[in-house]
Structure 1
Amino acid sequence: MTQRFIMVGAGFSGAVVARKLAEAGHACTVVDARDHVAGNCHTARDADTGVMVHTYGPHIFHTGDDEVWDYVRKFGEFAPYKNRVKSTHKGAVYTLPVNLHTMNQFFGTALRPDEMRAHVATLTADIPEPESFEEQALAFVGPDLYAAFFKGYTEKQWGTSPANLPASILKRLPLRFNYDDNYFAHPHQGMPVDGYTALVENILDHPLITVRLNTVFDPATAGDWDHVFWSGPLDGFFGYDIGRLGYRTLDFEEFRAIGDWQGCAVMNHPDPEVPFTRITEHKHFAPWESHEKSVLYREYARACEPGDTPYYPIRLVAEKALLSDYVERAKTVSNVTFMGRLGTYRYLDMDVTIREALDTADAFLAAQAAGTPAPLFSQAPL
């Protein structure tokens, strides 16, 4: 029996779930308050330069999930792309993530891997179970590398001392005792040749999927649908009536240049006296293209206010307490599944978002077949 489902949010979460359920024979409506699909992954050609711009900041696709890699390539051609980040510290440029080249340059040495391991071991603090970002950094790289590449950048990005942040944030960043400067270690890495927006448009291109942009969904109308898949902010579903979950947002200061302005896609600026966190030069995200002109952005991080685009969930003690309250509220709602980065208040890479969306659609169809309740969350927020 054909059912009517609505997906709130036209990013990867909403698009992938809609596609899977449409292929199962159900009518799906996908709505988004913005005037484009693909959410924060949205890309668009700049009219003046022809550069494919990542409107809400750069997104590099990387995954170790073979099924997800095969899935995205069904809907768009991918070109190989390795994310090689640079960092300017006190007038010198270093490679990131911190690797043997970075460390030899920083310390003014020419050490082999085993020699550098021994050297760094003399610098790190003995903290068996680091609890904060700062403790993790001191145990990980020692005070000098921490101060150079992590401390100032993290303070600007998160608006608080690294001593107040969980160690898990730093645990995601590699430290390499070789000369590998590929930021990611996943076997599959690339960029969609036609951009992410075209990729998501192709996912949504199905006769049983209707897309409505510039459309704000009213949660009070959830009962008009057989099921609602909500990928908007969890607290937004309830009108933020017991408070707003904390996010960091980004401001982008655009500037343009002729030729190649900085020679790389991403240049970090960790020094605390520099007000922005990094500069991105977007034509370098498509090295197979050639453009005479360039579009660049300085990124400034700050607290997210009402009306801003939420980027990074803060998830400190106060936010987790409020999140727990909203999770309890969600348990009182029927015919709704909360999913994605905003719906579960978690930082998610694109490949994980797609994996969870595929799994959410499968779990929903399995629950329907078994006559059991549909999943409330794509993944538990806590």
Structure 2
Amino acid sequence: MADKVIMVGAGLSGAVIGRVLAEAGHAVTVVDTRAHVAGNCHTQRDPDTGVLVHVYGPHIFHTDDTQVWDYVNSFETFLPYRNRVKSTSQGQVFSLPINLHTINQFFGRTMRPDEARAFIAAQADQTITNPQTFEEQALAFVGRDLYEAFFKGYTEKQWGCSPTDLPASVLKRLPVRFNYDDNYFFHKYQGMPQNGYTPMVARILDHPGIDVHLETEFDPDTAKDWDHVFWSGPLDGYFNYKLGRLGYRTLDFEEFRAEGDWQGCAVMNYGDADVPYTRITEHKHFAPWEEHQGSVLYRESARACGEDDIPYYPIRMVAEKALLRDYVDLAASARNVTFVGRLGTYRYLDMDVTIREALDTGAAWLAARAAGHQPPVFSKDPL
């Protein structure tokens, strides 16, 4: 017997889980408050320039998961793309992540890899043996000069607090390389969807067992009307923020336009604290196989997320983790609901991880139903 299931959110989590369940014969309804599918990875053609714009900021697909790579390519053709980030700092343009070129340029040297490795080890603060904060991790990693040029100001703008208040784990995502490799990611598969993420998600949702309703609110009080609810909205929002709001950072985008090639790359970071924005993205460079005379660019700035803003990055500091634990306890008493995705589990997730968890969540739900068991409340433990 088919269950009547609702996916709250038409982003990657809702689309992928919905497809898994629909293919298994269940009746799936997908609702989203926005006028489009694909959530924050929504892309659309600019009508004036033809540029494919990443409306909510750049999303670059990278993964080592062959199944996930094959999955997305079954719904959209992914073309090769390498994320090569630049950073304007102290009046110069450097290559990120920090690599041998960055080190030699910054210090005015011509070091070989072994020389640079020894040089950076000497720059590092070797008295810090167990770094606890972002700043301590950076100082123990690359020393004060590189830290202040590339990490300190950028981090203060991105997170709205001193790097001394952030955990060391935040910096562990940023590599230092002692060769000239400026590919930002290490992953085996890297690319961009030829026609954008929104057509890909639309194809995932294109199944006779899936009914999509956009610009539609979902009231958690009506959850009892469904056999199961998959909630990819904010975890605290499901409970009407009754315990308080979990902290997020949001992003503001100042769009501007130019003719020709404005900055010569897709992403230019700005590490200096006196520059108000964190980076500028030039969207046509995210599709290097296309040619456009006009250009669409975003100046991107981060700030605290208000009630009417789009939440992007969970803060997960001490106070937020304490409140998160309270919401996890509250969620444990919920029936016939599973919290999924970045907002539902209050975690920063790359797209490939989101899809992997969605595939696994759909399979786990089907297995639990077949066994007569209650499905788990969380696709992944938020704690």
Give the TM bin, normalised by the shorter chain.
Answer: over 0.9
Distance 1:373 1:2 in 2: 16
Q: CA deviation at 1:210?
A: 0.5
Q: CA deviation at 1:129?
A: 1.9
2:114 counterpart residue number: 114
2:132 counterpart residue number: 131
CA deviations over 1:268-314 (Å, ceiling 9, x no partner):
00100000000000000000000000000100100000010000000
Distance 1:75 1:198 in 2: 8
Distance 2:312 2:178 in 1: 32
2:161 counterpart residue number: 160
Distance 1:121 1:291 in 2: 45
Q: Secondary structure at the match of 1:86?
A: strand
Size of the aligned set, in residue pairs, is 382
1:372 counterpart residue number: 373
Distance 2:169 2:76 in 1: 33
Pair 1:313 & 2:296 matched: no
Distance 2:24 2:361 in 1: 14
- Quick one: which amino acid aligns to residue 160 of structure 2? G
Q: Secondary structure at the match of 1:210?
A: strand
Matches within 5 A, 1:71-220: 71-126=71-126, 127-220=128-221
Matches within 5 A, 1:1-382: 1-126=1-126, 127-382=128-383
Q: Secondary structure at the match of 2:87?
A: strand
CA deviations over 1:73-109 (Å, ceiling 9, x no partner):
0000000000000000111100000000000000000
Distance 1:228 1:297 in 2: 36
- Quick one: which amino acid aligns to residue 86 of structure 1? K
Q: CA deviation at 1:135?
A: 0.7
Point out the more displaced range, 49-58 or 129-138: 129-138
Distance 1:147 1:244 in 2: 32
Distance 2:75 2:100 in 1: 38
Q: Secondary structure at the match of 1:69?
A: helix
Aligned-residue RMSD, C-alpha: 0.5
Task: Give the % identical residues.
Answer: 72
- Quick one: which amino acid aligns to residue 37 of structure 2? V
The unaligned stretches of length 5 or more in structure 1 are none
Q: CA deviation at 1:207?
A: 0.3
CA deviations over 1:110-164 (Å, ceiling 9, x no partner):
0000000000011111222211111110011110000000000000000000010
The unaligned stretches of length 5 or more in structure 2 are none
- Quick one: which amino acid aligns to residue 37 of structure 1? V
Distance 1:188 1:50 in 2: 27
Distance 1:343 1:246 in 2: 13
Per the normalisation by structure 2, the TM-score is 0.99
CA deviations over 1:17-42 (Å, ceiling 9, x no partner):
00000000001001001100000000
CA deviations over 1:35-94 (Å, ceiling 9, x no partner):
000000000000000000000000000000000000000000000000000000111100
Point out the more displaced range, 305-314 or 367-376: 367-376
- Quick one: which amino acid aligns to residue 23 of structure 1? E
- Quick one: which amino acid aligns to residue 169 of structure 1? V
Q: Secondary structure at the match of 2:296?
A: strand
Distance 1:69 1:129 in 2: 37
